[in-house]
Amino acid sequence: QLVAFLFILLGVMQVAFTLRSPFGFSWFDLGMGVLQILLGVMLATNVFGGLVSLTLILAFLFMLEGVILVLAGTNLRPFRPWLWLVVGGTISILLAVFVLMNLPEAAAALLGLLLGIDLMSNGLWLVAAGLMLREFRD
């Protein structure tokens, strides 16, 4: 239930940020936020029945997020945190491949751990990007 709540909260925050972003509107960010909200609602309403299908959705999100982060990192090479984007994206892609290769076991035992690893790796690049932007502003 906690993971479901966190997905809903993360999705709402992503949608709110996308709608109020000073960088312009992004359909991708809006779609990811809505998808996270739907995933959270699905987890809250059907915890055991949809565990494998939710794991597939989460693996797809890991893969999509990883590809986007790697592409963004390679496009931002002149800026300092570009490497963190690539590392975070690579970790997300590897987690997606791991989940898909170990689907029955990953669905029941490792889903929370893999989600935590993904959130931590993305948190690292967000902190690095925030620090870089703070220095850039000064």
Query: What distance in Å separates the CA atoms of residue 122 and residue 127, rounded to the nearest whole number?
Result: 9
**Average pLDDT value for residue range 47-68:** 78
Token pair in block for residue 90:
């690579």
The pTM of the whole model exceeds 0.75: no
Domain boundaries, the chain: 1-46, 48-138
Residue type, 58: L
At 31, the pLDDT band (50, 70, 90 cuts) reads: confident
Percent of the chain residues past pLDDT 90, beyond the cut: 3
Give percent of the chain above pLDDT 70.
81
Digit-coded pLDDT (tens) for 92-111: 899 888 888 877 666 666 66
